[in-house]
Amino acid sequence: MGMAASQARLLTLTARKSDLEFRAQQITNSEMILAMQTEVAAKEYSNAMSNTKYQVNTYTSDSDKQTVWADMTAEQLFGVMGYGMRSDNGEKITLQNYEELLANGDSMAQKIQQSGMVVKDENGANAWTKSTSVTKFFLTTVGGGLLNADGADTSISGDENITTTYDTSDDAAAQAKYDQKMARIEVKEKQLQIDLEQIKNQQKACDTEIDSIQKIIDKNIDRTFKVFS
């Protein structure tokens, strides 16, 4: 191989090696992105498995007073339990006085209406909605506005008839979603590892050929200088 051909081949191999290094860096970046996606998936899974819900203490009957914990809804808390919210003038807001307080411009009654906690039943009468999310939102954003069945101040954190427990209703869905995400990430990781291994083999081949070409160039240079020495 002549000097010019060797030099051209060396330049081609050098460019090829630079391209392989760039591709290897891209794969490394992709692996970092997958690592971040794994962290996000794990965090979402952890949050879903550790989320909580409120429950209220109800009874099977007035005679035996057997404790039964039920998911807290406006219907359970304000209907079955007889709790209420404090109005602007300190009065307990119930279904009986709700419309009157609302007509008088009571701000708490207005918030209850805006949140959708009170609805009309099939007979057109006021009824507490069964929406759990509205009840949670309202009770966690309106501090000190909760009154128990006796009309005394209470709160979701200090009332013995209200408790917080883990919500396991979405655990199966969270597990399936997490497994699906991790399976996709694992497939991508394996493909990236295969691609990276191929690139490393090609880099080794380039290095070997570059060394070989460099030796040929060195020999050509050595012979050329000997002619003129």
Domain residues of the chain, as ranges? 3-49+173-228, 53-166
Handedness of CA 14, 20, 26, 27 (dihedral sign): negative
State residue 221's pLDDT score.
67
pLDDT for residue 192 = 93
Strand bridging mode 118-120 / 92-93: unpaired
Q: What's the pLDDT at 65?
A: 62
How much is the pLDDT for 223? 67
pLDDT at 72: 87
Q: Report residues of the chain scoring pLDDT below 50.
A: none
Q: What is the pLDDT of residue 224?
A: 65
Q: What integer pLDDT is reported at residue 227 of this predicted model?
A: 53
The predicted structure's pLDDT at residue 208: 84
Nearest-angstrom CA–CA distance, 196 and 26: 10
Question: Given this model, what pLDDT does residue 179 score?
Answer: 95
Say if pTM beats, i.e. exceeds, 0.75. no
129 close to 118: Cβ distance less than 8 angstroms: yes
